[in-house]
Amino acid sequence: MAGLAAVRDSYRGVGAAWSSGPADAYERMAASTVARLWPLVRGQLVLDLGAGTGAASRCVARAGGRPVALDVAHGMVLQARCDHLRLRDSHLPCSVGEGERLPFRGGSFGAVIAAFSLSHLARPVVALQEVRRVLQPAGHVISISFGAEPAHPAKDHVDRVAERFGFRYPHWYTELKHLQTAVDTPVALHALASAAGLVATRVDAIRPDTGVSTPDDLVRWRLGMAHLAPFVAQLPAAQQAQLIREAREALGPAPQPWTPTVLILVSRAPA
């Protein structure tokens, strides 16, 4: 992916904005997944691939697993460590690295969870091959991704307001949108797992409660995303406040809650 460095750099500086905005919704979605699959992570050393601020890691820890967080963005890893310590009174082992070149020995983990991270990779098959390498025999991989469906209206409304303040989509964001088609249908996910040499694959679809329903929730969620948060952060405080007010007004008093379709892939390494 030509824009990998740009993606990494954008996420490096948005840990705090992500933690106070989208993080809670992503943790709810990860919790819904782990609650269904806790026997696969309980008692296991679990790699959280593309950990962000550690939402899936905390869910794994609550389910009795021992998470290790890995992300390409140093700033997100630092935020993950801080948030985990603040919320769980325990340290989270963290590493900075790329999903397509995992910095771990073969057979290191009993399970791997990739929560909304495969869609950020130009070669998700290569990443899953790396996942197979670091898994113990018959170890499980859990991937969480968004299913293909129309975008939530708040995305367009909030982005259009931001454009009036001078925002323009970074090139990497457009590039990233094209990558999501590799993981947004059950057929595509089955094909990826098969190509990576994983076995016993199944894909389920759920609609978890994200907790994102009010105008304030939706604005925090959208403005905390990595393509928008750096732009918002560089605005003077008065303009930030005005942007937030206008974004809330654009959504109206009773916007549609964000309840996306989430696909859960469960597969395993050969025994």
Q: Which fold has domain 4-149+172-210+259-268?
A: Rossmann fold (3.40.50)
Asked whether the beta carbons of 166 and 106 are under 8 A apart, the reply is no
Rounded Cα gap, residues 65 and 63, in angstroms: 6
Asked whether the beta carbons of 192 and 114 are under 8 A apart, the reply is no
Q: Does pLDDT of 102 surpass 70?
A: yes
Domains of the chain by residue range: 4-149+172-210+259-268
pLDDT of residue 90: 73
Most confident range, picked from 9-13, 81-85, 121-125: 121-125
Asked whether the beta carbons of 226 and 26 are under 8 A apart, the reply is no
Tell me the pLDDT of the chain averaged across its residues.
Answer: 89
Average confidence (pLDDT) over 197-216: 96
55-62 vs 74-88: helix crossing angle, rounded to 10: 30
Q: Does pLDDT of 9 surpass 60?
A: no
Q: Does pLDDT of 174 surpass 60?
A: yes
Rounded Cα gap, residues 127 and 192, in angstroms: 10
Q: Does pLDDT of 247 surpass 60?
A: yes
pLDDT of residue 221: 93
Query: Please, which residues have CB within 8 angstroms of residue 236's CB and are 6 or more apart in sequence?
Result: none
Average confidence (pLDDT) over 63-83: 83
Average confidence (pLDDT) over 242-254: 96
Greater model confidence, 227 or 60? 60
Structure tokens at 269: 């390494």
pLDDT of residue 1: 42
CA-wise closest residue to 255 among 220, 225, 227: 220
pLDDT band at 122 (very low <50, low <70, confident <90, very high): confident
pLDDT band at 15 (very low <50, low <70, confident <90, very high): low
Average confidence (pLDDT) over 137-145: 98
